[in-house]
Every structure is written in C-alpha cells, then in structure tokens.
Amino acid sequence: MPLIKKVNGILPVWGNNCVIAENATITGDVVMGSNCSVWFNAVIRGDVHSIRIGDNVNIQDNVVIHCTYQKSPVSIGNNVSIAHGAIVHGCTIGNNVLVGMGAIIMDDVVVEDNVIIAAGAVVTKGVVVESGSVYGGMPAKKIKSLDISLLEGEVKRISGNYMMYAGWYDEGL
C-alpha cells in the first residue's frame, strides 16, 4: 500500500484508473488526473505548495516532485512522462512532454507543450523551454527542434505505454 499522508488537513486525490506503487509516497495538496501511474520509490510532496498533475501522466521510479514554500507550485499537463530519477521542483510542465532520466527542472521553469528534456539535463530557475524543442545539457539549452517522428515515436509512445506496463503486474504495482 502506498504511503498517502494528509498535510495540514489536505489529503492527496486522484482520478480514475490510476496505479500507484506500494512504496510510492504522495503527501498533502496533490491532485492527479485519470490514467496516471506513480512508480516505485517516487515521492510527490505537496506539503509546502500545491501539485497539480493532468491525465495520462507516468511518474517513474525514484522521481521527486516538490515545490518551494509559498512561492513555486508544480503544474504538470497531460500525456507527460517523467523518467527514472528526475527531479521536478516548483515548475510548470505543459502537455506532451518527456522529462528524461535524471533530469532536473528547477523553480519557476515553464516547459511549454511538445518538448523533450534530455536525460541528465539541468533546466535552471526561470527558464522558458519553448514548444517543439529538445533541451539538453547543464545548464540546459535548446539542442534541436522536436520533429513529428520524435513527438509520436518517443513522447506519445512512452506516455501511452505506461498504463500497459502497470497492467503486467499480477497484483498491481
């Protein structure tokens, strides 16, 4: 059973058909849409500000999602994959986004729709990641435009597959 904790009287809520790993942690002011998956050891801490997560979002193993007290909430759109070990902190992520393994997205970043953040990238405070881009590096910069084959073959494929993967587990995650 996942660790779901109320903070200041607020209990996390989620929509239909969500799958949450038994060792995931979700606390406080977290609202998650439908058809989402939260994988092993992921932590979503809505203790110091709000976290809003859309539909068809997968939050993979060891991801940390957190905010900055009274300053920077988290907002995540639809059809988003946040890969293993990523840190999402006090930022806004649009629709159809892939956040690569080990990437870090800092406070007040705005990731527009249809974007890939490369594995290991560090998107520093306040950066606007323009729609239709691939950002990578430390600090992250635009490295190329996101063509339709990457959007369909990576971003949408991965976000579409994670509920299927969750279904492979005999007793759920």
State how far the Cα of 119 lies from the Cα of 79, in Å rounded to an integer.
18
pLDDT for 173 equals: 66
Would 170 be classed as within a structural domain? no
Residue 143, domain member (yes or no): yes
Domain membership flag for residue 171: no
Do 12 and 27 meet the contact criterion of CB atoms below 8 Å apart?
A: yes
Q: What distance in Å separates the CA atoms of residue 107 and residue 103, rounded to the nearest whole number?
A: 13
Task: Please report the pLDDT score of residue 1 as a whole number.
Answer: 86
Whether 54 is covered by a domain: the verdict is yes
pLDDT at 84: 98
- For residue 70, what pLDDT is reported? 93
pLDDT tens across the length of the chain (173 residues): 899 999 999 999 999 999 999 999 999 999 999 999 999 999 999 999 999 999 999 999 999 999 999 999 999 999 999 999 999 999 999 999 999 999 999 999 999 999 999 999 999 999 999 999 999 999 999 999 999 888 888 899 999 999 999 999 877 66
CATH assignment of the domain containing 44 = 2.160.10.10
The pLDDT of residue 172? 64
pLDDT in tens, 125-152: 999 999 999 999 999 999 999 998 888 8
Residue 172 lies in a domain: no
Domain residue limits at 133 = 3-165
Q: What is the pLDDT of residue 170?
A: 78
Q: Which two tokens stand for residue 97?
A: 């986004």
Does residue 41 sit within a domain?
yes
- Among 58, 56, 64, CA closest to 26: 64
Whether the Cβ atoms of residue 29 and residue 13 lie closer than 8 Å to each other? no
Domain count, the chain: 1
Contacts of 160 (CB under 8 A, 6+ apart): 56, 79
Q: Does residue 77 fall inside a structural domain?
A: yes
Residue 105 domain flag: yes
Can you give the pLDDT at residue 117?
A: 98
